[in-house]
Chains A and B, each alone.
Chain A
Amino acid sequence: MRNNIAWIVLAAVMLAGCGDKTAGTSAGTIGVAFETLQTEYWVASRDGIAAELKKRNLNMLEAIADGDANRQFEQVRNFITRRVDGIIVVPKDAQTVVPMIREANRAGIPIVLFNRPPAKSDARSVTVVADNFSITKDTVAYLADQALKAPGKRQAAILIGDLGDINAIARRDGFEEALKPHAGRIEIVSRIPTEWNQEKALAGITNALQAHPSIDLIFVSSDLLLPSVVSALKSRGRYLKVGEPSHVVLGGFDGDATAYRMLTEGYLDATGVQDVGFDTAATVQAVVDLKAGKTVPETLLDPGFVIHRGNLAQVAPRMWGAGVRK
């Protein structure tokens, strides 16, 4: 028993030692609350924010909600109790973050949202978000040009994200808008809901390829879902390189390591890239500026860019997925 208690005390002391880095001569502490770190994009973003904070001699107090909005609310309240100098939140969704912003407003602590804007309310915050609509529109416009190089009518499909996520909706709308001018030649035959879930994506695209075997163009709303599409195409013998007969024109969004590998190997036509370097720097700068009492626009848009085989060598250094080791 005595040994058990000794172990508990030792574990608590070790935890304290490994976690608390706020001592010393830092310029302050920023609470960073991520919804999840279960995809490469979030890990790259977390690392980017950590690097930007370190650059400015700011400590990072991090918390991950593991997809639970209530837990995230509790974590933000804990940050406020700790009297952090600023809060950065990657919210689970647009609605549940509003009470968190209100709490931060009441405590007079600046709060910046990363990647997802809040629902309309009287709560005050700054959001750094990719221009999901425009990046998707540009990406799909490129894909349409590739698909239309072949004669005749073409069929297209989209894998849609979680419709509770405003970014997923913007990407879906960007897809639809890009194909509008080609309505006579490109027909959208399948809109597959995935809720950002790879299993649902695989089942959905498999069914779509069964119902429409001649789909020529597929857009995935996140590169996270590319492995599902690859698996479904392979099982139908249609996972082919750009330029091969029966190649399915394939595009994505995010710019992760899988997309980079597929681009370099010639299986992916294009992907819309969120500029993680821009996003993380703008987020940390916004929280620093707000703390200093400066005025910051309510939304800071990341224009992003489209990467395809034509500009791969030129823009790959700006693609975050190119720097992730697989």
Chain B
Amino acid sequence: MRGLLTSRYLVAVLAAACFAVCAPLIPGMATSGNLSNLVWNMLPLAVVTIGEVFVLIAGGIDLSVTAIIALCSVTGALVMNGRTGYLAGNPAAAPVAVLFMLLVGALLGFLNGCAVTRLRMPAFIVTLTTMMFFGGFAVWLTRSANIDALPPAFNGLAGFGTLTVAVVVALAAHRTLRHSIFGRWLYATGMNARASLVSGVPVHAVTIAAYSVSGLLAAAASVLYTARLETGSPVLGQRIFLDVIAAAVIGGTSLFGGRGTVAGTLAGVLFVALLDNSLNLLGVSFFLVFTAKGVVILVAALLDSAAQRVLGEAVE
């Protein structure tokens, strides 16, 4: 039991246990259609959560990811929509809009990183402020209206494109964190920024890069969410922040920095998606669903924390 508790795959094991318990009780849970739904539901969330994990590992937090998703969604839609878009009717509208969305996301992340490092402001305050600013700007740009009539080539990304993007992002992020000097700098910065600075780690540049990655991946998630709904929305993703943080923490990322992996994050995202999926298929009442979700996430986090304590004792 101690071995299971301290396993790096504890969350994955919990997710599998949850599935094993629910599958016989919930009709349709174990069908190929539902499993495909489950994967399909978790992919965009995985992309945005991996970006957040970069910032968390570096010892920060990015509250603005949901606002970046919304702002990228409407800016991309303003460029490519078939009615009033700047590139309406142009065959290059979809690829140009996607590039523009990614550029906007990376730029917004870069601004967050600069504000945190250059202005020496707490990440929480900076990204809380930018969350309001970016979100408000998205609403102002569209006057609260959704933008539809997006090109079919763009909407087509909602299918196989989603899987491709998520796999590429996960592999690239894993490789960066495990096998690159930037990955090592990121962990070092999150563990002890001052010691890292003294040791020659370019802490400011690493922090700015982490926020830029977060912004870029939020934009990539925005592309996937927007394509899925075939609509640019100024409130897109507004309610997913808790899922992002829950998935990251359940997946073993520390809110104090210095710890987190892509594999753990994917397991955390799977757990959150599985929870949503099973509560949905159960038809649990709205008045119970948030409580049930909160309790299960709390239990998973407690188990993770117990595992860390056991690991700490083992080291001592």
Q: Which residues of A contact B (CB under 8 A)?
A: 1-2, 4-5, 7-9, 11-13, 15-16, 18-22, 34, 37, 46, 60-64, 66-71, 73-75, 77-78, 80-83, 93-96, 98-99, 119, 162-164, 193, 195
Contact = CB atoms under 8 A, between A and B. Distances in A.
A15 B236 contact: no
B146 A95 contact: yes
Contact of A64 (B25, B27, B228, B289): B289
Contacts of B148: 95, 98, 119
B42 to A, nearest CB: 10
A96 B145 CA distance: 12
Interface string B179-221: 0000000000000000000000000000000000000000000
A-B complex: 6 closest residue pairs judged by Cβ atoms: A19-B282, A16-B25, A61-B283, A64-B286, A19-B284, A95-B231
Contacts of A4: 299, 302-303, 306
Contact of A82 (B28, B237, B276): B28
Nearest to B147: A95
Contact of A18 (B143, B144, B288): B288
Contacts of A20: 25-27, 282-283
B146 A93 contact: yes
Interface in B128-149: 139, 143-148
B144 A162 contact: yes
B41 interface: yes
21 contacts: A1-B1, A1-B4, A1-B5, A5-B17, A11-B292, A15-B284, A18-B284, A18-B285, A21-B283, A69-B231, A69-B236, A70-B225, A70-B229, A73-B228, A77-B37, A93-B146, A96-B230, A99-B228, A99-B229, A99-B230, A163-B144
A220 B22 CA distance: 46
A277 to B, nearest CB: 21
A5 B28 CA distance: 25
Nearest to B2: A1
Contacts of B314: none
Interface in B266-298: 276-289, 292, 295-296
Interface of B: 1-2, 4-5, 14, 17-18, 21-22, 25-28, 31, 33-34, 37, 40-41, 44, 139, 143-148, 158, 225, 228-231, 233-240, 276-289, 292, 295-296, 299, 302-303, 306
Contacts of B147: 95
A46 B287 CA distance: 12
A34 to B, nearest CB: 7
B28 A81 contact: yes
Contacts of B303: 4
A183 B225 CA distance: 46
B274 to A, nearest CB: 11
Nearest to A37: B286
B41 A74 contact: yes
A70 B145 contact: no
Contact of A81 (B2, B31, B144, B238): B31
A99 B282 CA distance: 24
A37 B148 CA distance: 26
Contacts, number: 155
Contacts of A164: 144-146, 234
Given A2-B1, A62-B286, A96-B229, A15 B279 contact: yes
A62 to B, nearest CB: 6
B284 A34 contact: no
A15 B277 CA distance: 13
Given A19-B279, A163-B145, A68 B238 contact: yes
Given A16-B282, A162-B144, A67 B239 contact: yes
B161 to A, nearest CB: 15
A205 to B, nearest CB: 18
Contacts of A16: 22, 25-26, 282
Contacts of A18: 282, 284-285, 288
B18 A12 contact: yes
A8 B17 contact: yes
A237 B64 CA distance: 41
Contacts of A81: 28, 31, 33-34, 37, 281
B237 to A, nearest CB: 7
Contact of B239 (A34, A71, A94): A71
A69 B229 contact: yes
A97 to B, nearest CB: 9
Contacts of B231: 69, 93, 95-96, 98
A80 B234 CA distance: 28
A2 B139 CA distance: 50
Contacts of A37: 286-287
Given A94-B146, A98-B148, 17 more contacts: A2-B1, A11-B295, A12-B18, A12-B25, A15-B279, A21-B283, A64-B286, A68-B238, A68-B240, A69-B231, A71-B239, A78-B37, A78-B277, A95-B148, A99-B158, A163-B145, A164-B234
Contacts of A15: 278-279, 282, 284, 292
Nearest to A38: B286
Contacts of A96: 146, 229-231, 233
B286 A195 contact: no
A13 B231 CA distance: 39
Nearest to A43: B286
A193 B240 CA distance: 26
Nearest to A70: B225
Contacts of A2: 1
